[in-house]
Every structure is written in structure tokens, then in C-alpha cells.
Amino acid sequence: MRAVEARPVAPVQPVVFAVPPGQLIWRRLKRNRSAMVGAITVGILATIAVFAPWVSPYDPIKNDLANSMVAPGSRFLLGTDNLGRDILSRVIFGSRISLTVGLVVQSTAVTIGTLLGLLAGYYRGPLDDGVSGLTNIMFAFPSFLFALAIMAVLGPSLYNVFIALGVVGWPTICRLVRGEALSLRSKDFVEAARAGGASDLRIMLRHILPNSLGPIIVAATLGVAGAILAEASLSFLGLGAQPPAPSWGSMLSRGRAYIWNAPWLTFFPGLAIFVAILGLNLLGDGLRDVLDPRLRH
Amino acid sequence: MEATRARAGCCGGIAEMLSYVIRRVIALLPVLLIVATVGFLLIHLTPGDPAAVMLGPDAAPDEVERARHEMGLDLPLPVQFLRWYGRVLRGDLGYSIFLDRPVIQAIVERLEPTMLLTGMSLAIALAIGVPTGVWAAVRHNTIVDQACMGFALAGVSIPNFWLGLNLILLFSIYLGLFPVAGYTPLAEGVLRSLQSLVLPAITLGSGASGLIARITRSSMLEVLGQDFVRTARAKGLRERLVIFHHALRNALIPTVTVIGLAVGALLAGAVVTETVFALPGVGRLVISSVLRRDYPLIQGALLFLAMIYVLVNLAVDILYVYLDPRVKYV
């Protein structure tokens, strides 16, 4: 009798993409004109923020009372403020504050939101009830007002802005990831992984998370814009960055008193906020078109 | 016959509708309970002694002690908690030592400009947002579409305090068309009152109008692609009738849901807008109480605004079910 030859199990064929998915997304993104405008704007802003000490013509903090309230011109391109500080230099350094706030706040929000959302959507049951309950409480308040209340408790400072905006930011991501996890957990490829003996942790991190990455990236990009606007608003209200820090929001707040005779004090910092948020929103919308085919229009 | 049946489905269920509303109102109670709890915890999460923080470093120890007593902070925590609930249920939101009056009175006194401002902003947002969205959808993928969506994106992206300052600069300082800042109460003339709110309302409404334009456009595009619209066109109806009578009515349903969200953003944005235009509303009250650390007032105002937000969203949900007969009363 011939020994039954163990039939070789057909090796699992890896899915072969004609083009790697990353490149495919990049190609589609390149064709999306508004996304590219957004990406370039954000890229320029980030470059300015990184190289701020080299590109800014003057010291953003040091007073120069001999040159106070100089109108925009050849020496001070965007003019100077009441303490003689160069507006352009302050706007340049302000990009550091804004982008740091945006990135730190959204990293916090994405980390907490993704973690809780994955656990809630994957395990369901009481854990999900708890997490969903918590997010629903957070959604009962308009989020900016909630951040305001947290700032009232913690006291005004840029550091506390990080905390307040992080606390109000995570539920959006959490709800999103929970929904994704909930729908993905019963898909065939997840069942297959489970049948193959993958642990819960592995399923969550290797199968569910990568497949919900698109919506997370979109929400995080738009979230950075939201965080920057919220920081600017809090600083405008006197609750965020404290003087002499060159935060765009607090520049506007201080410049308000001089709007009659020196409108450049408020115009340029505000323009910077507008451009930053517009760029991030364009990029976020473009990413949505590319990454989330369900929402095409 | 189809039409009669649909009508019966929509309006025959007044009792059904009523029971839905009652159930939703009951479901609101736990939310309000939680909102009240968060309001309570707010004071107790403050690092250090809230009374001492509130009165500042110069306060004498006996003043702090008196404030602690007035705020009930010298009682055991569970007692404070129960007292807080009891008071909230009676509509008593505490006493502001700084303003020397009950919190609820302080809020009510400031309510008129905030409500008018929010209402006007929403009206402006709808008046601009809906037509823009419809126009963009009808001219899908043309220059009109792109222009409308660019306009909407700018509305969503522009910081409203900056827009406000620019409007003041342009219309009040250079052109002298509107008052620079301040509010004329309704009692001193409706027209003048509304005039003092025109610039603030445009400022506050810009973000919501962008949001509404974008939602309206995408839902309009979806509806325009559906069979019943093709049928309407095929039977030779004029395009105007197809768009406004058939498509728009269906496309507005998602717009209605976004109103609830927009009101939340408007209430929050009112804080900033009232500061820019020096309007004596609830928003400015919130900011000054935050800067002074007037905890009872912060607590009360947060609770009050959250309640309005929750109630508006309830109203929107009910309206939604009423407008869309396909949605069951669950």
C-alpha cells in the first residue's frame, strides 16, 4: 500500500496588487487638485514651523519700543505691534504653537479613541456599553463649551489647552473606530484569522485596525484643523497661551484694542489661522475622497 | 392610491407620534442627570480648595471659610451631591458671589441677545447654505459647483473671531454702516436691535452655512440620482418643478439633522462672537465667569447650555421622524 502522501496544502496566495496600495492612494491623491493644494499648504506651514528661527527676520518676543506700531512696509513686511515686535516673526513662530497643539491634541485623541473604540467594537457587551455611554455623555455637551469648562477648572495655560482639547477630542475618533470594528469583526477575513488561531489582540491590531485606518486618518486630519481653531479661540479669549508667547489667537486678542489705527495687528495672525485651517480641511476632504469610497461626491 | 397610503402612514399616527415624543422625553432624564453630575464634578475636580481659588490669593481666611459655607463645600460629599441634585431639579443653579445674585437670574438676564443671535445666525446659515448646496448639486462638476464648494469650505475654515473683526473693520469703521459693537435691547426698538446683531449673526453663521451647504449638496446629489427623479423628468415635468418639488423635499432631511449639530456649534461660537462684538449675552457671561473662576456660575451656565443643546436635538429628532415617514418611531 502506498503511503498516503500528505497532499501539500495549497499555500495561501498573498493578494497581489498590481500597484502597492500606498502608491495607489498616492496616485489618486495626486490627481485630486484640492487635496494637493491642501497638502502643499500644510507642507509649507510645517517647514516654516520647523525652520522658524532661521526664516524669521526678527526676535518674536523681544520688545523694541522705538519701532512700535510701524505699518507694513519694506523694513517690517507685516508691520510691528504695540511693543515693537515684528508681526511676521511672531506669525512665523506662532505656527509652531498651532501645529504643536494640533498634533499633540490629535495624537492624544486618536490614541485614546482608537484604543477604546477597538475594544468596545470588538468585545461588545458591558465594555461597549460603558465606552458608548461615556462617549454619549461627552456628546451631550457642545465640545468647545466642555473644553471651556475644563479650562475653568485647570486655569489658563497652553499646557492645559492640550489636556482640555484632548479630553473633548477622543469621543469622535472612538465612535468612528467602534463602528468600524463592529462591522469588520464579523467579516469573512476576520473569521478566517480567528479560525487560524489568531489572538484577539492580533485580530484587532493586524486585521481590524489597518482596515479602519482610512476613516481614522481623515478624521484626524480634520481634527488637527479643529484643534488649531479651538486653541486659537481659547487663546483669543485669554485662556490659552499666555503672553508673550506668539500664539495666533492671543495676537488677535491683544491686537483688538488697536484695530482702529493698526489693523495689521489682527489681520495677519488671523489670516495665518485661516490659511492653516483651510489647508488642513482641503487635505482632509481630499483624503476622504481617496480613502473612503463610500462618501464620494 | 399609493399616495393615500403614504399619507395615512404619515399623519394617521398622531397617537403613535405622541407616544414617541413622550418616550424620547423620558429617555432625556438620564442624560440630564448625567449632565448635572458632570456639572457637580466640575467643582470637585478643581485642584485645591475651590473657594480659595475663586477668591484669589488675597482673600482672608474667614472670607474663604464663609464662601466655603455658602457654596456648601464644608458638608460631606454625598450630602453635597444630593443637595445639588435637589436644587437642580427645582431649577436652582446656585448663587454667584461675584455677581451677588442667583445664577439662574444672571443667565436669564443675559439670555435675550444670545437667543436672538443664535436664531438669526441659524436663519442666515440656512438662507445661504441651502441654496448654495442646491445650486452646487444641480450644476454638479461645473465651475459653479466648485465656486459654491470653495465658498462653503471657506465658511467652515474661517475663524469667526477674525471674520468678525474684519467685518467690523470694513462695515463699521470704513463704511460706517453698522454699529462697531454693543447691543440694543429689543425693548428699545426691534429694528435697531436686529441691526446691532447683523454683523455678529453673519460672523457666527458663516461656519454653519458652510456645513449646511456641504450636507445639502451631497444629499441633493444622492436624491437627483434616484429613480423617482428620473421618472419625474421622463414624464416631462419642468426641471424647476423636479428640483424644488421632488428632489429638494427629500434632500432636506439630512439638512434637518445637521441643524441640531449646528446649534451646538452656534452656542459655543456665541461665546467668541459675543466677545468680539461686546454683546452682553450668556456667552460673555461664561467667559467672564471662567476668567474670574466663578464656579457656581460656570456650573450653572454649562448645565443650562447643555440642556438647550439636548432639547434642540430632541426637537430635531422629532422633526426628522415627522418629515421622513420611512423612519419608524422607535
Q: With CB atoms and an 8 Å threshold, state whether A145 touches B165.
A: no
Q: Measured between CB atoms, does B218 come within 8 Å of chain A?
A: yes
Residue A14's φ and ψ, nearest 5 degrees, are -65, 140
Output the pLDDT for position A13: 58
Output the pLDDT for position B245: 83
Output the pLDDT for position A204: 92
Q: What whole-number percentage of chain B has pLDDT above 90?
A: 31
Longest dimension (CA), chain A: 105
The 10s digit of each residue's pLDDT in A152-189 is 888 888 999 999 999 999 999 999 999 999 989 888 99
Q: Measured between CB atoms, does A144 come within 8 Å of chain B?
A: yes
The answer to whether the predicted template modeling score (pTM) of the entire model surpasses 0.90 is: no
ipTM of predicted complex: 0.85
Instruction: Tell me how close the Cα of A122 comes to any Cα of chain B, in angstroms.
Output: 26
What band does B5 get if pLDDT is binned at 50, 70 and 90? very low
One DSSP character per residue, A135-204 reads HHHHHTS-HHHHHHHHHHHH-S-HHHHHHHHHHHHHHHHHHHHHHHHHHHTTSHHHHHHHHTT--HHHII
What band does B117 get if pLDDT is binned at 50, 70 and 90? very high
Instruction: Tell me how close the Cα of A252 comes to any Cα of chain B, in angstroms.
Output: 8
Site from A233, A251, A260 to mutate, B interface, most B CB atoms within 10 angstroms? A233
Decide which of B173 and A177 is more confident.
Answer: A177
Q: Is the pLDDT of residue A215 over 70?
A: yes
Q: Is the pLDDT of residue B14 over 80?
A: no
What residue in B sits closest to A270 (Cα-Cα)? B162
Most confident of A129-143, A190-204, B250-264, B314-328: A190-204
Q: Is the pLDDT of residue B72 over 80?
A: no
Q: With CB atoms and an 8 Å threshold, state whether B271 touches A145.
A: yes
Note the CATH number of domain B111-280: 1.10.3720.10
Q: Is the pLDDT of residue A124 over 60?
A: yes
Q: With CB atoms and an 8 Å threshold, state whether B162 touches A233.
A: no
Site from B162, B204, B303 to mutate, A interface, most A CB atoms within 10 angstroms? B162
Q: Is the pLDDT of residue B23 over 70?
A: yes
**Stretch B257-280: mean pLDDT:** 89
What residue in B sits closest to A233 (Cα-Cα)? B272
Output the pLDDT for position B3: 41
